[in-house]
Amino acid sequence: MGKQNRNQEVRRIDEQKADQEAAQEEIRALAYQLFCECGCEYGHDLEHWLEAERRVRGPLKDES
């Protein structure tokens, strides 16, 4: 692999990582918002997290 190709690959991986980190932060913020909207009631963290993931990432492509 040439140096230019290697640099492009590294940039692409860095961009993907930044996108994933941004999505993760968006999910965190939305899950917290859902927690607050539900009266800050503990015990529903997984529900809030999964709902936030669904909203941020959208439905899975495999789903029919």
pLDDT tens per residue, range 6-60? 888 989 999 999 999 999 999 999 999 999 999 999 999 999 999 999 999 987 6
pLDDT of amino acid 4: 82
Q: State residue 29's pLDDT score.
A: 98
The pLDDT score that the predictor gives to residue 64 is 47
Long-range own/partner contacts, residues 45-54 (CB < 8 A, 24 or more apart): 52/26, 52/27, 52/28, 53/27
Rg (CA), the chain: 17
